[in-house]
Amino acid sequence: MSAESRQGEGSGSPASFDAARLQLAKLHASPESRLRELWLQLAEIAARNLNVERVGVWILADEDRALRCRYLLQLSNHQVFQGAVLRAQDFPSYFQALHEQRTVAADNALSATTTAQLRDAYLEPLGITSLLDAPIYLGGKVVGVVCHEHIGAPRVWTEQESDFAAAVADTISRVYGEYEYRHVETALESYQRHLMELHRMEALGRMAAGVAHDFRGIVSIALGFTELLRRVPNLAPQADHYAQRVIDALQRGQALTEEIVSFGKDDPVAPRVLDITAALSKCSQMFRLLLGASIRLRVRGSGSVSRVFMDASQFERMMLNLVLNARDAMPTGGELDIDYEDAVIGDEDDERATYVAIYVRDTGAGMDETTRLNAFKPFFTTKGDRGTGLGLVIVDQIVSRAGGRVKIDSEPGRGTTMQVYLPRIAAAVA
């Protein structure tokens, strides 16, 4: 039976809900159990009793400024997605509703006040028409949300279904609390630590951006007068040559200030369900023009590659920085391969999780250990005047905000492979 036809039947009887509540009550975090197994059992109970296709558990992170998907079960194929991030600054109405309502019951989620901001970014690309979400409370404070996502014709949630969704959230709170009591560190803590480091760098960036904003105006004035200087009649060739050198230097300064100003911002973006294959196909022609004839580019996907949740322009910026870095590492030419696939890797909590992996491999000079260790530090560069030292920092910033991670595999003399791992939000487009 298809997901659409199954969900169209509505949920179960009062007796079935009572039986489901009993199943929930029996779930507990024993010393030998893993939180993933418990939450997936719970998600399947919820999905089957509410007749929904997807059930996700999202936990607040980054000082409550973001929700990170802990686990999301798609019932029809039992795929599990995890790691995607929703940020409050991008979806403020939804975050506000989570702190004000016991359940967020959106019969028509595409137009409901609480969920309409998710329509273009999340709901329509995944075919979701109705949402029944219940905040998770721990110690009297909202710590996350359990999301029940209905695919098919919109449905009206009953009071009985809303009560059951709240019971699911309460069970998650109890299981989560038991787990936290036994485990001091969770998978979120590693992510939190990295975000705190990014925030420190952003604070530095905002300070630098304030200076760069004023400096940008000075550079623009100097650039304008130098251009006028070159138009002076009968200007000596040597003077014209030096004026051009000044313009080149000012343009490099202008590019640097733009990078610094951009780095210092934390503006809302427009994340959405993104097809990696389509996004890379769109960028490939631009990459070939930037690389020139001396560098061969190959872009290749392996199998059916899942979709991710991030801003399309941020994805292009991330890839552009990686490609330009690779180009600069091969001044006499070479080969650049961009491979992407669904890959199972170790998660922060020693779990195995599937991510979308993108590998950007060049045949350049490679990096020594010092360069690798400092590559993600602001203003660190090996390019002299040609570099800003912000390219990889911005890549790390973009990937981390999407819930992913970046790794470097490189040694002197054997090129560099930049490994980007992005959390999946849904399977590949059929």
Domain residue ranges in the chain: 3-184, 190-263, 271-426
Taking the C-alpha atoms of residue 129 and residue 29, their distance in angstroms, rounded to an integer, is 33
Q: What is the pLDDT of residue 362?
A: 95
Of 44-48, 285-289, 370-374, 385-389, the range with the lowest mean pLDDT is 385-389
pLDDT tens, position by position, 217-271:
777 788 888 888 888 888 888 888 888 888 877 776 666 666 666 655 556 678 9
Of 19-23, 29-33, 84-88, 243-247, the range with the lowest mean pLDDT is 29-33
Q: Residue for token digits 């079960």?
A: 73
Domain 271-426: top CATH class: alpha beta
Q: Report yes or no: 311 and 344 within 8 Å, Cβ to Cβ.
A: no
Identify which has the larger pLDDT, 35 or 326.
326
pTM: 0.79
Q: What is the pLDDT of residue 174?
A: 87
Residue 379: phi, psi to the nearest 5? 70, 10
User: pLDDT category, 5, cuts 50, 70, 90?
Assistant: very low
pLDDT tens, position by position, 78-98:
999 999 999 999 999 999 999
Task: Annotate 244-283 with DSSP letters as a single string.
Answer: HHHHHHHHHHHHHHHHHHHHT------EEEEEHHHHHHHH
- Other beta carbons within 10 angstroms of residue 332's beta carbon come to 7
Q: What CATH homologous superfamily does 3-184 map to?
A: GAF domain (3.30.450.40)
Identify which has the larger pLDDT, 54 or 182.
54
